């Protein structure tokens, strides 16, 4: 399994699949579709049926139940396993992983020229993987374990089930989606057509992660209209929109910035600021697990807008807030047995479940609100979206075991 995972994952990395949040197409890049075609052929080669890539780039396939008794087959739920095949636009992806065998616990030099080092001081979790095989970047790229590791793990698990028919399971479905990294992963996904009772995204991080809660999320755009006048004649005339923008940001609570929050604490994040004297624009993301606190955060932005308009007049400040996704806990808790099923699958694989909220989003959140409850399970990777990304192959093996255990549980 170890060699199969390395080979399969390495092949996936040879495909550039960065999504593009400025694109008007879906998927956002043609390169994703090229990789999608490869995955379609791989699924067919494995022997899955109903393999399809639709107009939106969604790849779906079925592994039929192998239970002889019809009544037992009908009693088992149809389970889905889902991963996304785009990679983050933060930086280019690697074309082949750097393989560090029998890791010693010391710093790993990723790139000598730039002195890029995967250091134990900065990433103490490395000590957990002494003696294991790590796949890393070359120090210039991200790795792409988010989420090509998830795809490799799902396909290896399906292959294992096909090769071991003595392991009985009901009907299994698989889906691979584009554009997750830009928040559009399941925008057009038809859960009714997919036909599952429940599913799992294989898109988490470190070994043992199991998540069924995520942020409520919104995006805010603040536009500010100033008045530019020659500075030599500006007294009582000039209105500098940049200063109002700075004032707006200062009125948000400093302790609710990402760098000061953890666990269930929400935040405001200023993602972009641009402008001049005449006009300025601020972009924020708003996050909170608690629905009431989430609504209060949005209301605070509107109150600040009102305050500044009273202060400066003429409706100079405008605030537009759009909801992005909701906490899937509300949709998963009524069917909590699917979380318990995953926990037991981890325990049976010798993995300690780490049940915690996602400090982010997942395709599973939107799928849950589309009627497909969908917790999130680890891939084993660390430091996604950057050049310090790495993944232990042994964690990937455990992910395969967990998927097999979930599929075969009665």
Alpha-carbon gap, residue 241 to 224, rounded angstroms: 6
Can you read off the two tokens belonging to residue 187? 């925008």
Contacting residues for 6 by C-beta, under 8 A, at least 6 apart: 97, 99, 133, 135, 393
Cis peptide before 301 (omega within 30 of 0): no
Give the C-alpha separation, 59 to 109, whole Å. 37
- For residues 356 and 290, what is the distance between their CA atoms, to the nearest angstrom? 14
Query: Catalytic: 147?
Result: no
Catalytic residue among 146, 180, 203, 363, which? 180
Give the containing element (helix H, strand E) for 109: strand 108-111
Give yes or no for a contact between 361 and 214, defined as CB atoms under 8 angstroms apart: yes
Question: 236 in the Ramachandran plot: left (φ > 0), alpha (ψ -120 to 50) or beta?
Answer: left
Q: First-to-last CA distance in the chain?
A: 24
180 is catalytic: yes
Alpha-carbon distance of 39 to 305, in angstroms, equals 48
DSSP state for residue 140 in the 8-state scheme: S
Element (H, E) at 194: helix 191-194
- Kindly name the residue from 86, 147, 181, 211 that is annotated as catalytic: 86
Distance from chain centroid for Cα 230: 48
Catalytic residues: 86, 180
């Amino acid at each position: 399994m170890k060699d199969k995972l390395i080979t399969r994952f390495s092949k996936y990395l040879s495909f550039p699949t960065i999504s593009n949040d400025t694109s008007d197409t879906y998927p956002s890049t043609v390169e994703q579709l090229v990789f999608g075609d490869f995955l379609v052929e791989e699924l067919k080669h494995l022997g899955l049926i109903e393999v399809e890539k639709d107009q939106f780039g969604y790849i779906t396939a079925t592994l039929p139940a192998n239970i002889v008794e019809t009544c037992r087959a009908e009693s088992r739920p149809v389970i889905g396993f889902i991963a996304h095949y785009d990679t983050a636009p933060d930086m280019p992806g690697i074309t082949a992983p750097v393989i560090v065998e029998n890791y010693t616990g010391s710093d790993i030099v990723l790139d000598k020229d730039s002195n890029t080092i995967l250091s134990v001081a900065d990433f103490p979790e490395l000590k957990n993987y002494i003696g294991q095989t790590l796949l890393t970047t070359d120090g210039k790229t991200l790795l792409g374990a988010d989420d090509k590791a998830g795809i490799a793990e799902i396909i290896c698990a399906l292959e294992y089930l096909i090769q071991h028919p003595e392991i009985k399971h009901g009907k299994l479905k698989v889906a691979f989606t584009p554009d997750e990294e830009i928040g559009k992963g399941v925008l057009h996904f038809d859960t009714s057509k997919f036909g599952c009772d429940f599913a799992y995204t294989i898109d988490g991080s470190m070994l043992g992660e199991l998540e069924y809660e995520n942020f409520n999320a919104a995006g805010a755009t603040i536009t500010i209209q100033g008045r530019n006048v020659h500075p030599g004649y500006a007294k009582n005339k000039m209105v500098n929109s940049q200063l109002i923008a700075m004032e707006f940001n200062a009125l948000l609570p400093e302790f609710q910035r990402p760098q000061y929050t953890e666990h269930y604490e929400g935040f405001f994040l200023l993602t972009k600021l641009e402008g001049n004297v005449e006009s300025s624009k601020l972009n924020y993301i708003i996050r909170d697990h608690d629905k009431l606190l989430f609504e209060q955060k949005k209301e605070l932005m509107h109150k600040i807008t009102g305050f500044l308009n009273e202060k400066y007049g003429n409706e100079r400040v405008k605030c537009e807030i759009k909801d992005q996704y909701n906490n899937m806990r509300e949709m998963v808790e009524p069917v909590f047995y699917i979380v318990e099923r995953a926990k037991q699958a981890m325990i049976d694989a010798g993995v300690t479940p780490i049940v915690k909220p996602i400090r982010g989003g997942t395709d599973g959140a939107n799928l849950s609100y589309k009627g497909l409850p969908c917790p999130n399970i680890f891939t084993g990777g660390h430091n996604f979206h950057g050049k310090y990304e790495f993944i232990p192959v042994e964690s990937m093996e455990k992910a395969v075991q967990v998927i097999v255990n979930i599929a075969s549980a009665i």
